[in-house]
Amino acid sequence: MARIVVDPITRIEGHLRIEAEIEGGFIKDAWSSATMFRGIEKILRGRDPRDAWFWTQRFCGVCTTVHSIASVRAVEDALKIKIPPNAQLIRNIIMGIQNVQDHVIHFYHLHALDWVDITSGLKADPTKTAALAASLSDWPNNSATYFKAVQDKVKAFVASGRLGPFANAYWGHPAYKLPPEANLMATAHYLEALEWQKDVIKIHAILGSKNPHPQSFLVGGMSIPIDPDSQNALNADKLMEIKRLLKKAQDFVEKVYIPDLLAVASFYKEWAAIGGGLGNYMSYGEFPDANGNLWFPSGALLDKDLSKVITVDQGKIAEYVDHSWFEGAGTGKGLHPFDGETEVRYTGPKPPYANLDTNAKYSFVKSPRYEEKAMEVGPLARILVAYASGHKETKAVVDLVLGKLGVGAPALFSTLGRTAARGIDALLIAQQTPKWLDELIGNISKGDYRIHNNERWDPSTWPTEAKGYGFHEAPRGALGHWIKIKDQKIQNYQAVVPSTWNASPRDAKGQRGAYEAALVGTPVADANKPLEILRTIHSFDPCLACAVHVMDVDGNEVVRVKVS
């Protein structure tokens, strides 16, 4: 049996190593390993809880805001702070555009090249490409001249021999199925999305002074003043600029991303039966209104059963370290995050090594479980939970997409389903975010400028001991921060992030994590070029920086695929 290693899997954030056993052209078993560590959870101990969001935000530079919102929510939960409606709406807008931008970047820049062969696009007929694009949407750039210009640009790039981001790919692989025109169209949109994403995220600069890592979060609300008469506050000009950028975001998702997604998916329908994996899904729900009611519902599904949505209880979450490079409790029995530990101890082989001992510890990611069950989190989980809960907007879009692809709901339990759900998520949020802006404008026009609740700002008003948790549906799924406060200081802080769930190694019972389970049964045409592994793993949009709350310290390893 061949054991192949992909390390690091390219186009992800952080270092992820996959080892897979292949037999008869299919993956028989797989192991997911995170190969780097930092440990911000420990750095937080003893600090002021009001500062925690600023530190946790640095877990990652990709989902840059998500660890700030989870953190301020955890502290607000612990200290029983209710934030003003305008702060809630501004948070929703910041998180909403973060999700939309992140999903578009994932589709075009981190995932598309698993499905799109750029080199094939060089052979496309620009006139036919324009006709194809025009049949899908009325996007203004659908002209033959435009596609010819893109083709010439990419040809010049290839001729220069400096391929940059396009260098490490399996061009010409038989698993690429798109006709040249579809490849050229997607390549053009890859380049357009680069420009688009830097523009729409200016909303973070307006509401948070910068991106990545907006600066205006605050326990109790936000620190951005609202004053229609001041140039230094959130005023009418700035609100109109946000409106314009939200429209730009929505237009691109509706007229480029979704049509491309449907066009690409229609050539890869066999992937609706590959990569399903665990079949257990969990979403924490997101986008609270002024009363804290969530727009996307929270819930969990087990064994692909859409008829029963389980209520999520954070008390049922525990992390195991049986196969993770940590010591202490959490072995054999999971630790609830309030009592979680981060005692790192690397016991793996010294690099360079051929294989990890996957019977022992083999990752810096812990294994979170819900009632001892491995769960998949992410846009697919979010959309399935919303769909199964009868969420009106989600149901309408999901049924539309399934209808256009001519497949039923079970097709969603797959690699293709994961990729489609991310687009559906982006569309739903892109259409909803302008409504939160309108609500905010409505509040301001009625004279409500409240943005921060400072009743508990002074630590002398706090109880001696308090604990709380903060949930957020990050682009990659269910994110939770747990905090224990003692004598006004952080006593313990634990984060269980989306990629921790999905990238987790085996637990005490030997149950696979979501990536591992999804790979089992995946066909691999050429073990030397395991494009199919990239497709399924990238469909989760892995972020290992988040998963172990780390940063790459050496950053000098290139793709290594080994067959033994």
Could you give the residue numbers annotated as active site?
Answer: 13, 60, 63, 67, 476, 499, 543, 546
- From CA 49, how far away is CA 118, in angstroms rounded? 48
Nearest to 50, CA basis, from 456, 342, 341: 456
Shortest Å, Cβ 423 to Mg ion: 29
The entry of ligand NFE, Mg ion, none that residue 133 binds, CB within 5 to 8 Å by partner kind? none
Shortest Å, Cβ 318 to ligand NFE: 18
- Which span sits near ligand NFE by CB under 6 A: 45-53, 492-500, 531-539, 551-559? 492-500
62 binds Mg ion (CB under 5 A): no
Beta-carbon count within 10 A of 176 CB: 21
Q: Which is nearer to ligand NFE, 239 or 282 (CB)?
A: 282
- From CA 355, how far away is CA 289, in angstroms rounded? 49
- From CA 469, how far away is CA 495, in angstroms rounded? 10
Contact 505, 365 (CB under 8 A): yes
Q: Hey, which residues between 398 and 457 contact ligand NFE (CB under 6 A)?
A: none
- Which span sits near ligand NFE by CB under 6 A: 35-43, 127-135, 305-313, 497-505? 497-505
- From CA 312, how far away is CA 283, in angstroms rounded? 8
Shortest Å, Cβ 199 to ligand NFE: 21
62 binds ligand NFE (CB under 6 A): yes
Contact 543, 498 (CB under 8 A): yes
Shortest Å, Cβ 494 to Mg ion: 5
Shortest Å, Cβ 450 to ligand NFE: 29
The entry of ligand NFE, Mg ion, none that residue 545 binds, CB within 5 to 8 Å by partner kind? ligand NFE
Contact 301, 337 (CB under 8 A): no
Q: Which of 495, 508, 543, 550 binds Mg ion (CB under 5 A)?
A: 495
Q: Which two tokens stand for residue 384?
A: 């399935």
Q: Which is nearer to ligand NFE, 180 or 498 (CB)?
A: 498
- Helix axis angle for 258-266 and 392-405, nearest 10°, is 40
Provide φ and ψ at 389, rounded to 5°: -85, -5
The entry of ligand NFE, Mg ion, none that residue 66 binds, CB within 5 to 8 Å by partner kind? ligand NFE
546 binds ligand NFE (CB under 6 A): yes
479 binds ligand NFE (CB under 6 A): yes
543 binds ligand NFE (CB under 6 A): yes
Q: Which of 13, 77, 117, 319 binds ligand NFE (CB under 6 A)?
A: 13
Query: Tokens 């959130």 correspond to what residue?
Result: 234
Contact 482, 56 (CB under 8 A): no
Shortest Å, Cβ 62 to ligand NFE: 4
The entry of Mg ion, ligand NFE, none that residue 13 binds, CB within 5 to 8 Å by partner kind? ligand NFE
470 binds ligand NFE (CB under 6 A): no
66 binds ligand NFE (CB under 6 A): yes
Contact 459, 488 (CB under 8 A): yes
Q: Which of 497, 517, 520, 531 binds ligand NFE (CB under 6 A)?
A: 497
Q: Which two tokens stand for residue 39?
A: 């440990």
The entry of Mg ion, ligand NFE, none that residue 498 binds, CB within 5 to 8 Å by partner kind? ligand NFE
Q: Which is nearer to Mg ion, 235 or 314 (CB)?
A: 314
Q: Hey, which residues between 297 and 316 contact Mg ion (CB under 5 A)?
A: none
Shortest Å, Cβ 497 to ligand NFE: 4
Shortest Å, Cβ 543 to ligand NFE: 3
272 binds ligand NFE (CB under 6 A): no
Contacting residues for 443 by C-beta, under 8 A, at least 6 apart:
85, 86, 89
Q: Which is nearer to Mg ion, 411 or 495 (CB)?
A: 495
74 binds ligand NFE (CB under 6 A): no
Provide φ and ψ at 214, rounded to 5°: -55, 150
Q: Which of 27, 169, 321, 547 binds ligand NFE (CB under 6 A)?
A: 547
Q: Which of 499, 522, 536, 539 binds ligand NFE (CB under 6 A)?
A: 499
Q: Which is nearer to ligand NFE, 100 or 186 (CB)?
A: 100
Considering Cα of 481, then 483, then 488, then 491, what sign does the dihedral take? Answer: negative
Contact 520, 30 (CB under 8 A): yes
Shortest Å, Cβ 72 to ligand NFE: 14
9 binds Mg ion (CB under 5 A): no
The entry of ligand NFE, Mg ion, none that residue 476 binds, CB within 5 to 8 Å by partner kind? ligand NFE
Q: Which of 44, 63, 374, 397 binds ligand NFE (CB under 6 A)?
A: 63
Identify the bridge partners of residue 217 per DSSP, sorted by sequence position.
222
Shortest Å, Cβ 367 to Mg ion: 11
308-311 — which CB contacts under 8 Å span 24+ positions? 308/388, 309/385, 309/388, 309/389
Q: Which two tokens stand for residue 275?
A: 């990569």
Q: Which two tokens stand for residue 99?
A: 């999700």
Q: Hey, which residues between 331 and 390 contact ligand NFE (CB under 6 A)?
A: none
Contact 536, 177 (CB under 8 A): no
- From CA 107, how far away is CA 447, in angstroms rounded? 41
475 binds ligand NFE (CB under 6 A): yes
Q: What is the 3-state secondary structure (H, E, C) of 22-50?
A: EECCEEEEEEEEECCCCCHHHHCCCCCHH
513 — alpha (psi -120 to 50), left (phi > 0) or beta? beta
The H-or-E segment that residue 428 falls in is helix 415-445
The entry of ligand NFE, Mg ion, none that residue 142 binds, CB within 5 to 8 Å by partner kind? none
Maximum pairwise Cα distance, the chain:
71
Task: Provide the binding-site residues for Mg ion, judged by CB under 5 A.
Answer: 495
Task: Provide the binding-site residues for ligand NFE, judged by CB under 6 A.
Answer: 13, 60, 62-63, 66, 474-476, 479, 497-499, 543, 545-547
